[in-house]
Structure 1
Amino acid sequence: MEFVQFLVIGVVVLGSACLQGSIGFGLGMITAPVLALLRPDLLPAALLFLATLTSLTAFVRERHDVDWRIVGWGALGRVPGIAIGTVAVIMLPDAGLSLMLAITVLAGAAFSLVGWSPAASHRNMFFASSVSGIFGTATSIGGPPISLVLRSLDPSSMRSTMSAYFTLGSILSLSGLAIGGEVQTSHVIAAAALLPFMITGLWLSNFVIRRADRQLLYRLAVGASIFGALLVIAEAVRSALG
């Protein structure tokens, strides 16, 4: 990875991790489009490694109110989704995966703005997790359908259950990709190199969350996600026409 390229990606990871720690999302939705533009070969595994550590950090901090039955149904639902997502990574070219990623980001942004909140039932969690497994494995972005279902829980239980689910779900997705031969040494090295940026961003979130307007941060994260996704689509169109 060239130094300037690495620095750009690192700064994006730092900023998106800060947003993740402040409002609960941002790392995947913002960083994935940047990686799709600069280093598509690192997706999805390198970002999934970082996402696993982020979710684990949140889980250790807020593990007391986890609804383990919902997490269990989510884990069951994620398995078939992981299989489909892994096949997509194996079969689709980089351009196809980049477009899939951009569409996932735009759909995720739309989900985040929807006021509808289905009940956090076992059935809803199973189906939402299947969708999350497909896109979380193929693009590293599987949060929106789960956030939609868990939105009806009280805030403490929602944060705890979500962090537990995404820790387990990311590990399962990485396992599926490894079985499919889609986890390389370069992914591990890239994730390790970017880890200090992510840790710094999460640390900064402790200060940002006390001082910044959460609604402003939320709009910033959604806007940055949409902008990145549109850039990915524009680049894919340019490549197809050029």
Structure 2
Amino acid sequence: MAVFIGAIVQGGVGFGLGLIAAPVLTMLNPGVMPGAIQVVNFTLPLFTLAVEWRKVDWRGLGFALLGRLPGTVIGGFVVVYVSVHTLGVLVGVMVLIAVGLTARALSVPRNGATLATAGFVSGVTGTATGIGGPPIGLVYQSAKGPQIRATLAMFFALSAAQSLAVLAFVNRLPGEALATGAALLVPMIAGFLVSGPLRRYLDGGKVRAAILIVAAVSALVLIGHSVLR
């Protein structure tokens, strides 16, 4: 159910599956995380790209991936050596501050520096916790819905592939995680298929507000999950 609802949200906003599904999966079976959610994170964007691939911002994607690569490596070491609780609280607070600041402005500067920084933070948190959407989503909040979804989809597909490779390298990708991720593809596909009405509704000038709301909720979930875990 968490993956199904998360797929609906991400199908409309461009991100959000991790914030809903990752905490639930971690509570049910922490041994399969973050590998299981990364399997889903890799697959869902492929469905978005099949519909909206022509809207990808390739230049911005390049900068984001440039920052994401070192962030992914650091995230892998965080999984092994650092408390993800501390990381979750820190990143959650940073996202809340960013949401508060950008909610008062018309847009966030979208340039090489901000995209690379967002990609780096997303790489660390996405690999370590399975929640990496808010940083890159905030940078793209002023873009049109199709461009946001297409660019984030390409970013998440490549990012999840990076994370899976790093998790396998540091021996944190057990077979159970891959099997669980594969089983969750069914509710993920169902969620994407019913997300069409949400996409059309948000594309009517409501995408930015939706991104800020999802990012804020994601930060609160990450903080709460990190404190209570």
TM range, normalised to the smaller chain? Answer: 0.7 to 0.9
Q: Distance in 1 between matches of 2:70 and 2:146?
A: 29
Structure 2 residue ranges without an equivalent (≥5): none
2:172 corresponds to which residue? 182
1:54-102 superposed Cα distances (whole Å, 9 cap, x missing partner): 112112211102221221222221111111100001114xxx3255446
- The within-5 A match list for 1:12-161 is 12-92=2-82, 96-98=83-85, 100-101=87-88, 104=91, 107-108=94-95, 111-112=98-99, 114-115=102-103, 116=105, 117-161=107-151
8 Å contact from structure 2 (residues 99, 212) kept in 1: no
Letter paired with 1:49:
V
Identity %: 31
The verdict on how the C-alpha distance between 1:35 and 1:106 changes in structure 2, with shifts beyond 3 A counting, is farther
Letter paired with 2:165:
S
Letter paired with 1:122:
G
1:3 corresponds to which residue? none
Q: Kindly name which structure, 1 or 2, has the bigger radius of gyration based on alpha carbons.
A: 1
State the Cα distance separating 1:26 from its structure 2 match.
Answer: 2.3
Q: Distance in 1 between matches of 2:147 and 2:224?
A: 36
Provide TM-score, normalisation by structure 1: 0.78
The verdict on how the C-alpha distance between 1:197 and 1:109 changes in structure 2, with shifts beyond 3 A counting, is farther
SS in 2 for 1:181: coil
Q: Distance in 1 between matches of 2:111 and 2:53?
A: 20
Letter paired with 2:43:
L
Residue-pair matches, total:
223
2:225 corresponds to which residue? 232
Letter paired with 1:130:
F
Structure 1 residue ranges without an equivalent (≥5): 1-10, 237-242
Q: 1:191 aligns with which of 172, 181, 192?
A: 181
Letter paired with 1:97:
V
Q: Distance in 2 between matches of 1:22 and 1:194?
A: 19
Indicate the RMSD between aligned Cα atoms, in angstroms.
3.0
The verdict on how the C-alpha distance between 1:217 and 1:81 changes in structure 2, with shifts beyond 3 A counting, is closer
Q: 2:196 aligns with which of 206, 209, 219?
A: 206
The verdict on how the C-alpha distance between 1:235 and 1:111 changes in structure 2, with shifts beyond 3 A counting, is same
The verdict on how the C-alpha distance between 1:109 and 1:200 changes in structure 2, with shifts beyond 3 A counting, is farther
The verdict on how the C-alpha distance between 1:153 and 1:173 changes in structure 2, with shifts beyond 3 A counting, is same
